Structure 1
Amino acid sequence: MDLQLSGRVAIVTGASKGMGLAITRTLLEEGARVVAASRKSSPELDALAGPGLVHVAVDLMDPDAPGRLVERAVEEFGGLDILVNNAGGPPPGVSLPRFGFLTPNDDDWRQMFEFNLFAVVRAVRAAIPAMLERGGGSIVNISSTSARQPGTMNYDYTAAKAGLNTLTKGLSQEFGPQGIRVNTVSPGPVRTAWWTEEGGAADILAGATGADRDAVMDTIAPEMMNLTTGRLVDPQETADVVALLASPRSASTTGADLVVDGGFLKEL
């Protein structure tokens, strides 16, 4: 299926690895031109180098960073059609999960909201005028199933993502009549650096359960989360959904939350 993305201009945050890398690669394969944003590049992102890709090194904890990204998209490619707010999860230097409400302090909460909500607010604020100049566009915010099924860990993260869902719904109502669609994609546990990096979720849960990290990712975590598929989500599976939402083929989809979670959520 032709997603009609050829020549369209996209910004993808958190583009150097994991879901962001998969999203960037998928949009490039569909003919889009991409401004890939991350604090630093990666060999995998460098391997995608070409005339349709520009990497911009930014820290989204910097309030001015989103505006610079939109400016670069306009300078390099003449406008902006797609914004994928993928960067999120643990802020720089933070490891999750954190267990219990009393664990995160005020600074932890501020950092979590800065990275997972306020950076998105600023990016959308910067992107909308550029999209309106092109007659519309598509914004895809990467949320989490945790926003819809919170538990007794990562309170700050789940609250920030719940706020992101609410933001998305409101934006879709306000700017839909002007041609800008806004949706969320809610992954479940995805096999990304959040899990695989040293000191990440796999190591933390391995310490809590007495198992090894590979067993956590392959068996224990899917069983703990009662994943219907029996495995963590592959980043490409999320990227494919993002590309469809970015596409004009999804012209009547706005204000939606598409779940890619291996069957984690069980409610209607």
Structure 2
Amino acid sequence: MGSSLRELTRSLDVGGDAARIPMALHNVDNPESDSDDAVLLMEQNGEWSSMNYEYLPSDGSAFLIYTVPGLTALILSIGMMAALIMRPEWYVINTVGILVGAGTITMLGVSFVPWIIIIFMVLAAIYDAWAVYKSKHMLELADTMVNLELPVMLVAPQRPTRGRIQMARPEGASDENPMPMPPRKGMEETMLMGLGDVIFPGLLCISAMSWLPDLDGPLGWSAPIWVAIGTMIGSLIGYCVLMTYVARGKPQAGLPLLNGGAIIGYFISAMIFIGSSAFVFNISLF
């Protein structure tokens, strides 16, 4: 069985040294329950306020999806999974990948401060460059992901096409004598981008909006929003540079340019709209 808390606020004056007693918690006996209620006293700007937390037993319905957003999300999720299994064409894979990426960006972006995200981005960019240019196993992995039709890559065909995005096995190839598998006819000009190339810059944008000091910015928008926009612009510039290399027909590691552009955009916009407080290394190991 679960439980929930209901918050009731009211003003309360409490004497004492505010510097020594910024917060106090008091139990309140609840004869109708095995658990006590509580009153939390907090000091802010020299004034005290209290919050009353009342224990409310739950009948288990809190664990059921019964709200309109929950039912809508459940139905859409089942529908997208069915479409991915029954008709895994490029636009279905892209749609599922974008939705999965958006959820990942939101959950992780609000969970980590920008410096943690930046460290992850630098490490991921180094690994991506090594995997593409040195070991080259990323190219084989991309072919495998395309053949498995998993929503971990974004597919961009250069001309309208129907059918599955798959690699055609050359004549004479076998499991004992494998040969490079070129794209099937009509897919020679298809561009592929890993979902991580979109997720990492997005993480930094959401993290900036969630964790940076909430200062006023131009046009009535807060400073963290402008930093997120600057981060996005930097990533888009890196994307344009990346596309100039991709247009030459050679595989390119996306994260060094995309993450690099996003990080540079973050640093520049954070310095302009927030200042040095945006670069505080606010990370604790304990």
- TM-score (norm. length: structure 1): 0.30
TM-score, normalised to structure 2's length?
A: 0.28
